[in-house]
Amino acid sequence: MDSDYNEINRAVNMKQLYQEEPCILLDEKKIKSLLHCNNLSIALLEKTESTNDYFKDPAHKSKKPAVCIAEMQTQGRGRLGRPWHSPFGQNIYLSLHYPIQKDISKLLGLSLVIALAISKAIDNSCALPELTLVKWPNDIIAQDKKLSGTLIEMEAESHGVSHLIIGIAINVNMEEASKRHITQPWVSLRQLTSSYHDRNPLCAELLNQVLLYLEKFMAEGLAIFIKEWHSKDYLFHRQVSLKSNAAIIKGVGSGINQHGQLILTLPDGSEHAFSSGDTMLMKK
């Protein structure tokens, strides 16, 4: 262990001692015992720059799905290169490496499907006051605040194999963070339930659901998930502001189309589909 990790461990132990708070670290054996897939390799790290970047090292690529989970990230990031606050031992920072032989045009809507899988895993694992919702394109929302985010990257190789790297972060036991670290409204499972959560069962259920949803998506595409998205759609029938490049578009959320694009009904009554951008609810 390096000096940084020792310092972190001492801080965790002191917090336990004086505040009588639990601290259950991630355990590869516990996670594997709860997985439906028996041959999924797991790299469990004390600290890394980014779990997504772990799989960009050729030495860590394989012909089978693999997962990297870290107790802490020093350079965690979300969509559009935004930093993701990743304190030690509190949350889930996980990346799934998933090799495929499929044209990128067949992956439209993948981020939405992953969001549904994450939402299902959280709902299955945690007794929340209300079920989680999904905000296009891939955020998980609870009590109007961000609970989880996803960063999907793809690397293609000349012989036809592509490598999906699906990075997932969930706020689990984090109770506070400065505005310097997180600039948008956020929430954790601990805040929602007023209880501490062992992250190991949630990690396993997360992997189970993501792998299941991926298998269905690769076989049948987005169409079979549109009804489920509609039932979870945080933006549906709500006033939405979409920032796309330099433009700001305002309208009412009207679901998604078969390509996974966001449909907005504009003030003139016309419907337009958008393939990228940041969304937020408009203040009343």
User: Cα(138)–Cα(151) distance, rounded to whole angstroms?
Assistant: 9
- Residues 202 and 150 grouped into a single domain: yes
Residue 62 sits in the same domain as residue 203: yes
Are 175 and 274 within one domain? Answer: no
- One domain for residues 167 and 97: yes
Residue 7 counted as domain residue: no
- At 145-162, the pLDDT tens digits run 999 999 999 987 766 788
pLDDT above 90 as % of the chain: 74
- Does position 133 have pLDDT exceeding 80, yes or no? yes
Specify which residues 93 forms β-bridges with. Answer: 70, 169
Question: Which residues are paired to 170 by β-bridges?
Answer: 92, 148
- Position 115 in a domain: yes
**Residue where a domain stops, chosen among 190, 213, 230:** 230
Look at residue 207 and tell me if it is in a domain: yes
Residues 35, 80 within the same domain: yes
CATH number of the domain bearing residue 245: 2.30.30.100
Q: Nearest-CA neighbor of 212 among 98, 57, 109? A: 98
Q: Which runs of E-coded beta strand occur in 10-156?
A: 41-45, 66-70, 92-100, 133-135, 139-142, 145-156
Instruction: Report d(CA 191, CA 205) in Å as an integer.
Output: 20
List of E strands, 174-282: 239-244, 247-256, 262-265, 271-274, 278-281
C-beta of residue 49 within 8 angstroms of C-beta of residue 74: yes
Q: Is residue 1 one of the residues assigned to a domain? A: no
Distance, in Å, from the CA atom of 1 to the CA atom of 22, rounded to the nearest integer, reads 22
CA-closest candidate to residue 97, choices 27, 161, 31: 161
Structure tokens at 63: 């012909």
Per DSSP, 105 falls in state G
Residue 211 belongs to a domain: yes
Co-location of 32 and 153 in the same domain: yes
Find the domain containing 271 and state its range: 235-281
Across residues 131-155, what is the average pLDDT? 95
Burial class (CB in 10 A: 0-12, 13-18, 19+), 176: exposed
**Same-domain pairing of 119 and 155:** yes
Which residue, of 212, 230, 248, is where some domain finishes? 230
The per-residue pLDDT of the chain, averaged, comes to 89
Distance between CA 117 and CA 136 in Å, rounded?
14
Report the number of distinct structural domains present in the chain: 2
Measured between alpha carbons, how far is residue 84 from residues 155, 157, 168, 179, 275 in Å?
22, 28, 11, 12, 23
Q: Mind listing the pLDDT tens digit for each residue in 221-272?
A: 999 999 999 999 999 999 999 998 889 999 999 999 999 999 999 999 999 9
Specify the pTM: 0.90
Are β-strands 271-274 and 278-281 bridged in parallel, bridged antiparallel, or unpaired? Answer: unpaired
Q: Does 16 have pLDDT greater than 50?
A: no
Angle at 123 between CA 27 and CA 54, to 5 degrees: 40
Q: Are residues 121 and 256 in the same domain?
A: no
* Whether residue 49 is found in the same domain as residue 180: yes
Peptide bond preceding 267: is omega within 30 degrees of 0, i.e. cis?
Answer: no
Same domain membership, residue 244 and residue 124? no
Same domain, 53 and 193: yes
Do 215 and 262 belong together in one domain? no
CA 282 to chain centre: 24
